Amino acid sequence: MPKILILYYSRTGNTEKMANAVAEGARTVQGVDVELTYHATPEQLKEFDAIIVGTPTYHHDTTLDIKMLFEEAAAKNINLKGKVGATFGSYGWSGEAPKLVIEILKNKFEMNVTEPPLLIRYTPDPAGLEKCKEFGRRIAEGLVKAQHRH
Ligand SMILES: Cc1cc2nc3c(=O)[nH]c(=O)nc-3n(C[C@H](O)[C@H](O)[C@H](O)COP(=O)(O)O)c2cc1C
């Protein structure tokens, strides 16, 4: 069964609301395993077929935890090539973080990026939460379809 990791950080709860909705959407798809967490080790990343990172933007940047995780994964030569990568996050005005992280997933780890980063300003409203659910659902469906091609 394809496994999806939704790894997020959130200081004031906005990205967390998004993460819960992304997980809810992904879980509507049969035949995928969805893990929602705010902590993972570089080695754990290898266990998943898709890695979805939720990061708010603070001071035009992603969080130190997320930076360290991928720095460490790179230093340990953790192979994530060909896995599905995606990012999302709440922001206030510039929203760089999900864009920075998707570049790392794509360029450093050669992950397969099928969705642009999903950005929502401040607290997601019902329409925003719906976008998050759809985002999670599309990624999960993509994995199930890819599995059937093999
Ligand atoms: C100290 C501070 C710095 C911030 N810097 C940025 C920034 O550089 N760019 C941006 O788009 N939003 C910025 N924000 C807004 C946050 O991204 C926004 O409040 C977001 O909803 C926080 O998400 P969270 O609830 O998941 O922590 C900043 C907020 C604070 C409190």
What domains appear along the chain, each with residue ranges and CATH number?
A: 3-149 (3.40.50.360)
Strand pairing report for 112-113 and 50-54: unpaired
**pTM reported for the whole predicted model:** 0.98
Cβ of 63 below 6 Å from ligand 1: no
Name the residue of 20, 57, 87 whose CB sits within 8 Å of the most ligand 1 atoms, as the mutation to test its pocket. 57
- Residue-level pLDDT at 147: 86
Distance 81 CA to ligand 1 centre (A): 31
- Residue-level pLDDT at 150: 66
Q: Which stretches of the chain drop beneath a pLDDT of 70?
A: 150
- Residue-level pLDDT at 125: 98
What is the per-residue pLDDT across 20-55, written as a single tens digit (0 to 9) for each? 999 999 999 999 999 999 999 999 999 999 999 999
Distance 145 CA to ligand 1 centre (A): 36
**Encoded tokens for 18:** 């998004």
